[in-house]
Structure 1
Amino acid sequence: MEKKTMVPESSLPRERLLEFGEKALSNQELLAILLRTGSKPYNVLELAGMILSEFPNLYELKSANLNELQQIRGVGKIRAIELKAMMELGARIQQANQQKYGKVQSSFGLAQQLIEELKDSHQEHLICLYLNTKNEIIHRKTLFIGSLNQSIAHPREIYREAVRCSAARIICSHNHPSGTPAASVNDRLFTKRLKECGEMMGIELLDHLIVGSDGYVSLREEGFWEQ
């Protein structure tokens, strides 16, 4: 008969978070994960329960000072410090705003910045800008450096970043080290695939800019979107 492996009680909240997500967990389970271990004779779930019994309102727990936290059996000086640090970090996260890197006013203005940045580069750079609904840049990533082709520059890498940062729109750009920004057949095929993938995902491809040493091509301005 196969011997059953007992799962430590302290790991149960972690398992539940993995299976159901953090929003399904109770305050006690979330606190137990942060505490990590119990303190004899209490396991971690019991310790979390004792803390919440002492401070049944989360606002009271947030307001508790180090001395008050240490009055609870099983919560020593180090654990009290950790709890205060955790609560302060949570408060700062709550107040944090998404960082923005300027607003895209036009393809021309953005292209001028990219020309200045990439004009001396001897390799192709695929750069994607991720925008919110106000066309504010919320994320930027260089996804590839080298010799660009369709198999390397796959749409899934581009849209994975878009999903991660909750972008509403994207602008892709790459440079031609030759200095001539004319769109190649590969550039057009890649843009077509990218646009189609965005339409399926509900994330708009706003433009694909190709920059050279002193000029640029906007595939949207060229009418590629109407083709």
Structure 2
Amino acid sequence: MSSEKTLMMKELPQTERPREKMLAKGAYSLSEAELLAILLRTGMKNMPVHRLAEYLLAKYDLSGLGSISPQELSKTLGIGLVKAVTVVAGIELGKRLSSKVPDVRPVIRSPKDAAELIMPNLRYEAKEHFIALLLSTKNQVIARSTISIGSLNASIVHPRELFREAITHSAASVILVHNHPSGDPTPSQEDIALTKKLIEAGLLLDISVLDHVIIGDGKYVSFKEKGII
């Protein structure tokens, strides 16, 4: 163990060190700063690791860390590229776990069900992700497919890309979902025009577009609930 790391660890009582605390009390007992400190492993000469973790959370907030790139994070004082990659990888694992479709296929009974299924993964993304929830005749989620990533427009989200996925999975219907990185889920005119175009294409293929849900920061807008479609 380096002298820097030894000094860092000695600053905290044994029972308050994040690793020891996790082993003794479980991961759920740790604060966000303590969990982040474990990923960081070491601090700097004048900033122990728990202070560095607190600094990062104050600077970016947990939601900000969920969308930052390793390159950007590595520019922060005390964060090299190796630490930045470790932190981003840890957060990405958490995001994937929270968005994983369980073995028992969820049933979408309302726009809220669709939003809650996708929101944990999309609310912190820095780019717009357009996702299709592919449903069975009983509204069970067969699969979810990412159709595009980037600015949402008709040239990127083409009906053939969406309905190719629906046909491949033998979906009876689809629910469209995408996020607004700004956090405001209010539909734009482009969102509305694209949705109507996809609905028309679905009618020709006898695959219903049931709804379009836009995800914001902890909130959503359903086109169906708003009477837009």
Question: Following TM superposition, by how much is the alpha carbon of 1:115 offset from its aligned partner in structure 2, in angstroms?
Answer: 2.1
Aligned match of 2:207 in 178, 203, 223? Answer: 203
Question: Following TM superposition, by how much is the alpha carbon of 1:100 offset from its aligned partner in structure 2, in angstroms?
Answer: 6.2
Q: Secondary structure of 1:180's match?
A: coil
Aligned match of 1:103 in 107, 112, 119? Answer: 107
Q: Secondary structure of 2:167's match?
A: helix
Which 4+ residue blocks in structure 1 deviate beyond 6 angstroms? Answer: none
Distance 1:152 1:195 in 2: 16
Give the letter aligned to residue 113 of structure 1: L
Question: Following TM superposition, by how much is the alpha carbon of 1:113 offset from its aligned partner in structure 2, in angstroms?
Answer: 2.9
| Shift in alpha-carbon separation, 1:100–1:131, aligned structure 2, 3 A | farther
Question: Rg bigger for which structure?
Answer: 1
For normalisation by structure 1, the TM-score amounts to 0.54
Aligned match of 2:225 in 218, 221, 224? Answer: 221
Return 163-172 or 109-118, whichever deviates more.
Answer: 109-118
Q: Aligned ranges for residues 13-28 of structure 1 at < 5 Å?
A: none
Aligned match of 1:179 in 179, 183, 187? Answer: 183
Structure 1: 5+ residue stretches without partners: 1-98
Alignment partner of 1:161 is 2:165:
yes
Give the letter aligned to residue 141 of structure 2: I
Distance 1:114 1:132 in 2: 18
Alignment partner of 1:112 is 2:112:
no
Distance 1:150 1:213 in 2: 24
- Does the aligned pair in 2 maintain the 1:170–1:206 contact within 8 Å? yes
**Residue 126 of structure 2: aligned partner:** 122
Distance 1:119 1:163 in 2: 28
Aligned match of 1:145 in 149, 174, 185? Answer: 149
| Shift in alpha-carbon separation, 1:224–1:163, aligned structure 2, 3 A | same
Question: Following TM superposition, by how much is the alpha carbon of 1:105 offset from its aligned partner in structure 2, in angstroms?
Answer: 2.0
For normalisation by structure 2, the TM-score amounts to 0.53
Give the fraction of aligned pairs with identical amino acids, expressed as a percent.
45
Question: Following TM superposition, by how much is the alpha carbon of 1:165 offset from its aligned partner in structure 2, in angstroms?
Answer: 1.2
- Does the aligned pair in 1 maintain the 2:152–2:191 contact within 8 Å? no
**What's the CA shift string for 1:139-177, capped at 9, x where partnerless?**
211111122211110111000111111111000100000
Give the letter aligned to residue 110 of structure 1: A
- Does the aligned pair in 2 maintain the 1:100–1:137 contact within 8 Å? no
Distance 2:167 2:133 in 1: 13
Aligned residues: CA RMSD: 1.3
- Does the aligned pair in 1 maintain the 2:119–2:215 contact within 8 Å? yes
Give the letter aligned to residue 117 of structure 1: N
Distance 2:117 2:138 in 1: 20
Aligned residues: 127
**Residue 9 of structure 2: aligned partner:** none
**What's the CA shift string for 1:98-126, capped at 9, x where partnerless?**
x8632112111221232222121101101
